[in-house]
A and B are shown apart, each in its own frame.
Chain A
Amino acid sequence: VKRLLGVALGILTAIGGFVDIGDLVTNAVVGSRFGLSLVWVVLVGVIGICVFANMSGRVAAASGRATFEVIRERLGPRAGLANLSASFLINLMTVTAEIGGIALALQLASSVNYLLWIPLAAVAVWLVIWRVKFSIMENVTGLLGLTLIVFAVALFLLKPDWGNLASQAIPAVPAAETGATYWYFAIALFGAAMTPYEVFFFSSGAVEEGWKIKDLIQSRINVLVGFPLGGLLSVAIAACAAVVLLPAGIAVTSLSQVILPVAAGAGKLGLAVVLLGLVAATFGAALETTLSSGYTLAQFFGWSWGKFRKPAEAARFHLAMIICLLVGIAVLATGVDPVLVTEYSVVFSAVALPLTYLPILIVANDPQYMGKHVNGRGVNVVAMVYLVVILVASLAAIPLMIVTGAGA
């Protein structure tokens, strides 16, 4: 029974932890402008993140070490540095976006300007990382993030024309949009679903929690059930926007617009739940991205790391995270729109994807680290197909950003 509860908890936290500010904003923007015509990208992204998260979890369980640590050792410092630079910069952007997301959600709840919430949000993130146990931190934010299911509930309460909604799911460029914009947002959605920090957090978390080979089945269930259900949550966000905002001619540019369909469908109770979910999802993701920044730096430079150690025993790891949070505060203090930071972060995530996922694939095929747990043929075929997709998305992201004026 205890094991079953563990599996259930793992799945629930995987669902609740799947959605972050990138998913929230990008899915709402896409739903309000393209309806459900880009829903296929969520499916492609979810399959991709399942393949690579599962792979990095297996690397951690088989080698007893985090993926990034192994990449640096297996591929050498140069390749490790390329991987670190790309992943770390994206992480930093995502940390900034998530802290901004917490502040914006708190503004929606209180009407106090988000700039005043930013330092408080960052201090809260730091305190939790400093004081709270890894498993409690992960489970509480994951379970509270589950309240975002209110998007799915609101969708049912809005009583949409399901046939019309389903017909929108056919991939097509809407009349009001261009092909370039369609593909730009396809890449943004893909980047949001496959954000690099997720795999680094997943594999480092596996080491934090001391996974062994016997834990692989549970981790596989968490990933293969939790992430697709999290993907459904993303689709519900897009569908809510498609049902309420698209017909009203509203193109999402702020977080306040994202919650309107929930209020329309589920009233003030729904609003309270969605605000709780927004704070939990962004707070949880802020913890994960801040930790991922510390993990990648510490694992590259060979510092002592991990929340399983006392902060004094991993001083540089904790200092690096504090600096990341300060950088995030400084960027947001300039008045830059956190939603804009989010939109750019998901696109740059797509640009950095090959540098993140290729090394994982190489390490997962190395029998010296993996023993008999190297990738099977089927996994390698799927991963190779994804690498091609990732490469195409990565190469096309910047030109499309320029051509479309960042999707304007």
Chain B
Amino acid sequence: MVVIRTNRACPEAGGKVLTRPAGARTGRRTLATVACRWAPLAVAFLGAVLTSCSAGSAVTDTVATAAQDSSSAIATAKLAVGLDSGGKLTRAATSTTLDDALKEVQASRDTVLRLSPTSPEDRQVREEALKVLDSSAASLTTARNAVSSDDGGPSLSDGARALAAAEDALSQLTSKVGKK
């Protein structure tokens, strides 16, 4: 076992205590004063730039992202239902995948719901997006019921059809608002 004792303060200095030159401290204070004076202006400028960059596109951007994320969730659900129909996925794995997809769509819906559109066009886009996202969530519920019910509820092909319809609606929404 090797035990080494070093000067903890500054081993390279060989035990000497290093002190900072007086001017360095003064210089830092001057820099700090300048920074304090200009910081609010810089923050205000940055805020103005960011606001001008994002103004007017927040609703369509958010809807585009929500549509993209939901499309991915619906595609996942379609794949899972297809694999389940082909006997390649267990019921537990399929229902977990559908639950995760539903969470994703609900999260997207929540972001759209939180939007505050200021123009009639934006309001229309939001309403349309909410309708599509609601129908997507409903299609996932149908698919989930199809996977978990043995009592004459919807079949897997019903679930697949509902998912295909949701996929079409999302694709139309995406092409309307444009890809992010």
Chain A residues within CB distance 8 Å of chain B? 63-65, 73-74, 76-78, 107-111, 176, 244-245, 248-251, 253-254, 256-257, 259-260, 263-264, 267-268, 271, 275, 368-369, 408
Asked if A253 and B95 make an inter-chain contact with CB atoms under 8 angstroms apart, the answer reads no
Stretch with Cβ within 8 A of A (4 or more), from B3-11, B119-127, B135-143, B155-163: B3-11
Whether a CB of chain A sits under 8 angstroms from the CB of B71 is: yes
CA distance A275 to B78 in the complex (A): 21
Chain B residues within CB distance 8 Å of chain A? 1-4, 6, 8, 11, 65, 69, 71-72, 75-76, 78-80, 83, 87-93, 95-97, 100, 103-104, 179
Asked if A63 and B1 make an inter-chain contact with CB atoms under 8 angstroms apart, the answer reads yes
Query: What are some 19 contacts across the A-B interface (CB < 8 A)?
Result: A63-B2, A64-B1, A107-B96, A108-B92, A111-B93, A111-B95, A245-B79, A248-B75, A249-B71, A249-B72, A250-B76, A251-B69, A254-B100, A256-B97, A256-B100, A259-B93, A264-B83, A268-B87, A368-B4
Q: Which of A65, A108, A176, A248 contacts B79 (CB 8 A)?
A: A248
A399 to chain B, nearest CB (A): 14
Asked if A260 and B83 make an inter-chain contact with CB atoms under 8 angstroms apart, the answer reads yes
Asked if B79 and A267 make an inter-chain contact with CB atoms under 8 angstroms apart, the answer reads no
For residue A256, which residues in chain B have a CB less than 8 angstroms away from its CB? 76, 80, 93, 96-97, 100
**Given contacts A256-B100, A260-B79, are A76 and B6 in contact (CB under 8 A)?**
yes
A274 to chain B, nearest CB (A): 10
For residue B95, which residues in chain A have a CB less than 8 angstroms away from its CB? 111
Kindly list 20 other residue pairs between chains A and B, CB separation below 8 angstroms, not including A256-B93, A260-B79, A267-B87.
A64-B1, A65-B1, A65-B2, A76-B8, A108-B92, A111-B91, A248-B75, A249-B72, A249-B75, A250-B76, A251-B72, A253-B69, A253-B72, A254-B97, A256-B97, A259-B93, A260-B76, A260-B89, A263-B88, A368-B2
Asked if B88 and A257 make an inter-chain contact with CB atoms under 8 angstroms apart, the answer reads no
**Given contacts A249-B75, A268-B87, are A74 and B4 in contact (CB under 8 A)?**
yes
Asked if B75 and A250 make an inter-chain contact with CB atoms under 8 angstroms apart, the answer reads yes
CA distance A275 to B65 in the complex (A): 31
A338 to chain B, nearest CB (A): 12
Asked if B75 and A264 make an inter-chain contact with CB atoms under 8 angstroms apart, the answer reads no
For residue A250, which residues in chain B have a CB less than 8 angstroms away from its CB? 72, 75-76, 79
CA distance A244 to B78 in the complex (A): 13
Q: Which residue in chain B gives the minimum CB-CB distance to A178?
A: B180
**Given contacts A110-B92, A271-B90, are A260 and B2 in contact (CB under 8 A)?**
no
Q: Which residue in chain A gives the minimum CB-CB distance to B84?
A: A263
- Most A CB within 10 A of own CB, among B76, B103, B179: B76
Interface on chain B toward A: helix, strand, loop, or mixed SS? helix
**Given contacts A108-B93, A250-B76, are A257 and B1 in contact (CB under 8 A)?**
no
Q: Which of B2, B76, B89 contacts A257 (CB 8 A)?
A: B76
B91 to chain A, nearest CB (A): 7
For residue B93, which residues in chain A have a CB less than 8 angstroms away from its CB? 108-109, 111, 256, 259, 263, 271, 275
CA distance A263 to B81 in the complex (A): 12
B105 to chain A, nearest CB (A): 11
For residue A65, which residues in chain B have a CB less than 8 angstroms away from its CB? 1-2
- Most B CB within 10 A of own CB, among A73, A250, A268: A250
Q: Which of A78, A109, A245, A263 contacts B83 (CB 8 A)?
A: A263
Asked if A109 and B88 make an inter-chain contact with CB atoms under 8 angstroms apart, the answer reads no
Q: Which residue in chain B gives the minimum CB-CB distance to A339?
A: B100
For residue A109, which residues in chain B have a CB less than 8 angstroms away from its CB? 92-93
B88 to chain A, nearest CB (A): 4
Asked if A76 and B11 make an inter-chain contact with CB atoms under 8 angstroms apart, the answer reads yes
**Given contacts A253-B72, A257-B76, A260-B97, are A271 and B89 in contact (CB under 8 A)?**
yes
Q: Which residue in chain B gives the minimum CB-CB distance to A32?
A: B72
Q: Which residue in chain B gives the minimum CB-CB distance to A63?
A: B2
Q: Which 7 A-B pairs have the closest CB atoms?
A: A111-B92, A256-B97, A254-B100, A76-B8, A267-B88, A251-B72, A256-B100
A51 to chain B, nearest CB (A): 23
For residue A249, which residues in chain B have a CB less than 8 angstroms away from its CB? 71-72, 75
For residue A268, which residues in chain B have a CB less than 8 angstroms away from its CB? 87-90
A284 to chain B, nearest CB (A): 22
Q: Which residue in chain B gives the minimum CB-CB distance to A366?
A: B4
A7 to chain B, nearest CB (A): 28
For residue A368, which residues in chain B have a CB less than 8 angstroms away from its CB? 2, 4
For residue A244, which residues in chain B have a CB less than 8 angstroms away from its CB? 79
For residue A176, which residues in chain B have a CB less than 8 angstroms away from its CB? 179
A367 to chain B, nearest CB (A): 10
For residue B87, which residues in chain A have a CB less than 8 angstroms away from its CB? 267-268
Asked if A264 and B4 make an inter-chain contact with CB atoms under 8 angstroms apart, the answer reads no
B166 to chain A, nearest CB (A): 13
For residue B3, which residues in chain A have a CB less than 8 angstroms away from its CB? 73
- Most A CB within 10 A of own CB, among B1, B2, B69: B2
For residue A267, which residues in chain B have a CB less than 8 angstroms away from its CB? 87-88
CA distance A268 to B86 in the complex (A): 10
